[in-house]
Amino acid sequence: MRNRIVMAAMEARLNTPDGGVTQDMIDYYKERAKGGAGAIVIENTYVDAYSSRSGIISSGMYNDHMIAGKNLLAEAIREEGALAILQLSHGGPQANPAANNYPILFPSLFEGANTSKEYKVLTEADIAEIVDAFAQAARRACWAGFNGVEFHAAHGYLLSSFLSPLRNQREDQYGGSVANRARILVEILEAARKEVDRDFILGVRMNVTDGKDGGVDEESATETAKILAPYVDYLNISGGFGETCGNVMITPSYVQAPVLASRIEKVYRKIKGMVPVFGVGALNYELGETCLENGCFDAAVFGRALIADPNWPNKLKRGMEADIRPCCRGNEGCFSRMLKGLPIRCELNPACGQERKYEIPKTKNKKKIVIVGGGTAGMECARVGALMGHEMVLFEQSDRLGGHLVEAGAPQFKSGLKQFKEWQIRQLEKLDVEIRLGSKATAEAVRELNPDCVIVAVGSQYIVPGIKGVEHTILPDRVCEADVQIGKKIVVIGGGMVGAETALSLSSDPEKEVAILEMRDALAPEHDPVARGILAGKLEENGVAVLLNSCAVEILPDQVAYKDDDGNIQTIAADTVVLATGLRADQAQVETFAEFPNVVCVGDCVKAGKVYHAMHGAWKTMFDLEREATR
């Protein structure tokens, strides 16, 4: 490899329904190879036409008809200087029941197994067929021009389930001891080596922990690694099962990174020199470099960091660290869409999965564009427009840029959003966008500039409902202000994402007692389901009382009265009340510019939403304007 940066296998869902390659898939991986990574590991690819497919839509290498398309993918990656490695997988117990029409295959029955769909425990004859399916898929990958394959034996998939004592309770030669549980992998590696070229790379991705008591741990992982070492060219060590997702793998921002480095290091030190070891765990470039310097592993594996900015390896090499777009680990788009089988997107990088559609052009018809509002959408419109070559003027009536990103990025666990806001501001400065802070964009002020287009991105305002005593509350954007005194007994009215995260931030102080009043029957239902589960767990850990189906009716100086699920009036002590009852589009400012001839509204002022919607709306707006300009 040209460096020690490896792109992790992550399902992009850009392939055809039968597992074939599309141009979007080629563009997506090519961009990350072009960005400077040393090796690109292509996502979870199923090996037979029966039960191995794990997702509603997955990459496939199950027959020779797949070779030609995968060759286009391998060549695109290799032409950009990266190694092209195809991850081969069998879903087993991890498979989505809707993935195929065949039984789900188990090493053995185990506690908690999903038997809602027809299942089958593998016989030794079945195992022999699966071994051959993996070997033939490796042969196809070799013929297709890949540098190697990675056998997926992590995260609860079939091979991972064989390695785990929680899921493998067989009593034959494939169960019991660590060596027996690893037997299927050894047989696959031996069979695959006979089918591929001598210099073809064979790797294995495996768990250092299943994330559950009684599962794979550092000791058994070390023993497994020693068994596999003579047969592999590298080990890629990760962790977690589907049911521990969020705690161990694909961790949201509420879980501190790096997640697995210390565990991987313990295995690495016992097998160092036997085989190269790759390590993962919510890494960014700084954490990856630190792990390498500390001897945690030989190469660092990056997932979402390369989704958010595929070019960060080259930027780092050129000393352009300040230009690296950070990942906020919100799981919005990259992971949240996977559960529905939708193509990959990124919260902060709208070009992800749409590289050809959103390749930023240099305009042939330069325009003067005025943007009203310096929040997420307004700043991104200004940045993209400046890259296209337009003259951009941005009005922001407050004394700072960022809009709701200011308070959203204030908690320590949301530092990724704070870094993103700072990145946006740096890019505007670098592109010489004219920024008028503390300047309200009146119709007269904008008209004087004689713009070709006006983009209204004035955002949203916090909703203040007509609750008696509402004057005793503060809004979420005031919580992080230095001049605001926060009491010891805090009630947050509203349990959406804003309210829940505000409560989590405040509850990090053990001296404070925090409660959430939420009138719906669920906490933050708009959140990614895995991240929502982790958020709820963190709130519980911090002792936050979450009162669902509870509606505030009166706010007093020292307590809040609310109606519970049974319609009874209850009270809860409070010396600080935070009002987090949602956001509403700022229509008043929108109307100011309604009469201008070329006006476009974008972001929260259209409909209050997430950062994802603001960013994707900004890109769509700028590309729509550019298409109109070239007509």
- For 524, left (φ over 0), alpha (ψ -120 to 50), or beta? left
Cis check: omega of the bond before 258, within 30 degrees of 0 = yes
- The conformation of residue 501, written as its DSSP 8-state character, comes to H
- Of residues 62, 157, 174, 268, which has the active-site annotation? 157
The dihedral sign for the CA sequence 108, 160, 162, 191 = positive
CB 27 within 8 A of CB 344: no
Sheet arrangement for strand 434-437: 434-437, 391-396, 368-372, 453-456, 599-601
Strands 545-547 and 513-517: parallel
Q: Is 273 exposed, middle or buried (0-12, 13-18, 19+ CB in 10 A)?
A: exposed
Burial 315-345 (b: 16+ CB within 10 A, else e): bbeeeeeebbbbbbbbbbbbbbbbeebebbb
Q: Please give the angle made by the CA atoms of 564, 567 and 572, to the nearest 5 degrees.
A: 35
Q: Give the phi and the psi of residue 572 in degrees, each rounded to 5.
A: -140, 135
Closest CA to 61 of 40, 82, 80, 42: 42
The number of beta carbons lying within 10 Å of the beta carbon of residue 570 is: 14
Residues listed for the chain: 631
CB 534 within 8 A of CB 505: no
What are the structure tokens assigned to 469, written together?
């005593």
Q: Give the phi and the psi of residue 577 in degrees, each rounded to 5.
A: -125, 125
Closest CA to 208 of 282, 256, 154: 154
Closest CA to 83 of 7, 188, 184: 7
Residue with tokens 């480095």: 261
What are the structure tokens assigned to 481, written together?
């202000």
CB 36 within 8 A of CB 76: no
DSSP string, 118-178: -EEEPPHHHHHHHHHHHHHHHHHHHHTT-SEEEEEE-TTSHHHHHH-TTT----STTSSSH
The number of beta carbons lying within 10 Å of the beta carbon of residue 251 is: 24
| CA dist., res. 290 & res. 294, Å (int) | 6
Closest CA to 373 of 590, 526, 177: 590
- Determine whether 119 is an active site residue: no
| CA dist., res. 292 & res. 235, Å (int) | 16
Q: How far is CA 450 from CA 31, 390, 392, in A?
A: 39, 14, 12
Cα 518 from chain centroid?
27
Catalytic residue numbers read 157
